[in-house]
Amino acid sequence: MWRTIRTHDQIFKHNTQHVATVKKARDEYKSKADSITSGMKKAEADADRLDGQIRQLALNYQKTAVQMDHDDIVEALRDLLDSL
């Protein structure tokens, strides 16, 4: 009987250690996943901001090119803006 109890205690101890290891891995994974998600959101926001800046600069150059009758530059900038 004592042998059975000791075996059950060993199984319980092993299971407890296993659960603790799995929980630690889960928590580390969640932390890293949250960090990656945060980085991706920041990168997307930066890309959107920079896209807006590029568009504004290209529009300003395009207006100047129209005023100077540089149709080839106007068309090239139009193509650039369409590709963004």
Residue 49 in domain: yes
- pLDDT band (50, 70, 90) for residue 19: very high
Judge whether 29 lies within some domain: yes
Quick check: is 31 in a domain?
yes
Residue 1: what pLDDT? 64
pTM: 0.61
Judge whether 8 lies within some domain. no
Residue 2, pLDDT > 90, answer no
Site of tokens 């807006």? 52
The verdict on residue 6 lying in a domain is no
**Residue 5 confidence (pLDDT):** 77
Alpha-carbon dihedral angle through residues 49, 51, 52, 56, given to the nearest 10 degrees: 140
Q: Tell me: the pLDDT tens digits for 35-74?
A: 999 999 999 999 999 999 999 999 999 999 999 999 999 9
Task: Give the mean pLDDT of 1-20.
Answer: 87
